[in-house]
Amino acid sequence: MKTMSSNHAILRTLPRVDDVLQCIAGGHDIPRTVLVDAIRETLSEARAEITTQKIMSEHTLQGIAARALVLAHSKTTPTLRPVINATGIPLHTNLGRAPMAEQVAEHVKQIAQSYSSLEYDLQTGKRGSRTGGIEQLLTSLTGAQAACIVNNNAAAVLLALSALCQNREVVVSRGELVEIGGSFRVPDVISQGGATLHEVGTSNKTHAQDYRHAVSHLTAALLKVHTSNYKITGFTSEVEMRELTNIAREMNVLSIYDLGSGSFVSFAGEPTVQQAIADGADIICFSGDKLLGGSQCGIILGGAEHIAKLHAHPLYRALRADKLTLAALEATLLMYRDIDHAKSQVPSLVMLHACPTALKEKAARLHEKLPPHLNAELTKTTTQAGGGSLPMMDFDSWAVAIRPSGNCTATQLEEQLRSTSIPIIARIQKNQLLLDVRCINESDFAYITAACDGM
């Protein structure tokens, strides 16, 4: 009874909403409605704490006001925020994959802040094609007959299957029935596209004859899925795309190639988009925001007759890319008119091709700026491309390693950097906090130094 009585007494001391509002008035630009919601939520939490005797914080007017103001700030802060990528992974999916080049971002900004010629032909003064110019650029760069752009590669595969293979069979090797992030599985997308999956071969070996024996009057296409997020090694065999396209022509069916992380630049063991075109695939699908280094979208290349069916399909409008995506893609593709220029300007390519010696020198420059009490040291490390790309490639890199001292742990250090106004996302390895410099802009060194100074 005494406990209940004392709880009621404490509850009666909680301030009113108007009193808290008056206490925190001024000095901020938070809308009044947001403040009121935050105050009410804070008071509700305080009542729950008092009732359950789990007193987590001060319940004075000043204490409630401080808590409410912090909550109100969080309610007006976007959850999608810039971060500093100190993981060393250039195409980190959780961090938005490929960053845009400065000139690309500036072009997107201009398109976002003004009206644009999105579907207006400036030469004729009449309605124009939303993607016609970018598609011409894609065909020029790759040698494809025609192109189509949708909002991601999963959509690209779905559209291709829906428009070209509905109510018919699609033949796929068992070793290529992949699952990518978000539990997206090739068998599921084939089903959603209205086609029937016909598996051939085994998980480690598929031969040309497996495809030939599978083709019937029900077959629409032979689908090859590039395993861009994993590799099967050892006792294996697969049919390369050039041979598969020959089989498809021989059997009078389509050949579709899901490249996944399509690239215009060669990486060891990885097929390029240009090679896929040269191999003769009827349809090629790949991402725009991975190895290409552009905006998130799905790109489909292929024969003019097949691409025309994709554009005419009702699903295309639901999957088409928005104007900002198109602006970023076009500005990125223009950089590829000179491959060497692209390698030096497209951020993802710059990071993936960074020289280990240059990275060591860069890490040394960051190390020199960090406060001495951290006892930081340079360390050689390895990283990967990320984004489900180049799974067999390790990239030598350099990082500044901070070893925790006293009662502090590496996890606590990571949390401190992650909680700064511009979060610094690092990685922990062998109880050390690693700041891998591969993906860090040197212009951010001063901010990182200031954030580390309080650790």
pLDDT at 230: 61
Distance, CA of 111 to CA of 326 (rounded, Å): 10
Q: Which conformational region is residue 18 in: left (phi greater than 0), alpha (psi within -120 to 50 degrees), or beta?
A: alpha
Amino acid sitting at position 403:
R
Domain spans of the chain?
2-75, 84-92+350-453, 100-345
A 10 A CB-CB count for 442 gives 10
Separation of alpha carbons 397 and 351, rounded Å: 10
Select from 3.90.1260.10, 3.40.640.10, 3.40.50.170, 3.40.30.10 the CATH code of 100-345: 3.40.640.10
Beta bridge pairs of residue 259:
none
Q: Quote the pLDDT of residue 2.
A: 44
**Overall pTM surpassing 0.75 (yes/no):** yes
- pLDDT (tens digit, 0 to 9) for every residue of the chain, 455 residues total? 445 556 777 788 889 999 999 998 877 889 999 999 999 999 999 988 888 877 666 788 999 999 999 999 999 988 899 999 999 999 999 999 989 999 999 999 999 999 999 999 999 999 999 999 999 999 999 999 999 999 999 999 999 999 999 999 999 998 888 776 656 788 888 888 899 999 998 878 889 999 999 999 999 999 999 875 566 666 778 889 999 999 999 999 999 999 988 899 988 778 899 999 999 999 999 999 999 999 999 999 999 999 999 999 999 999 999 999 999 999 999 999 999 999 999 999 999 999 999 999 999 999 999 988 888 999 999 999 988 788 778 899 999 999 887 778 889 999 999 999 899 999 999 889 999 999 999 999 999 999 988 77
Residue 225 tokens, joined: 């899925």
Let me know the angle formed at the C-alpha of 245 by 240 and 248, rounded to the nearest 5 degrees. 125
To 10 degrees, what angle do helices 61-75 and 32-51 make? Answer: 130
pLDDT of amino acid 234? 64
3-state secondary structure of 381: strand
Residue whose pair of structure tokens reads 């001391």 in the numeric block: 13
pLDDT of residue 158: 94
Torsion angle in degrees (nearest 10) through CA of 242, 243, 247, 253: -30
Burial 16-27 (b: 16+ CB within 10 A, else e): eeeebbebbeee
Asked whether this chain's domains 84-92+350-453 and 100-345 adopt the same fold, the reply is: no
Q: In this structure, what are the phi and psi dihedrals at residue 334, rounded to the nearest 5 degrees?
A: -60, -30
Q: What are phi and psi of 124, to 5 degrees?
A: -100, -20
27-59 pLDDT, tens digit per residue, is 788 999 999 999 999 999 998 888 887 766 678
Position 96, amino acid: G
Domain 84-92+350-453 carries which CATH code? Answer: 3.90.1150.180
- pLDDT number for residue 408: 82
Characterize the bridge pairing of strands 169-173 and 219-225.
parallel
Q: What is the pLDDT of residues 292-308, one digit of tens each?
A: 999 999 999 999 999 99
Amino acid occupying residue 156? A
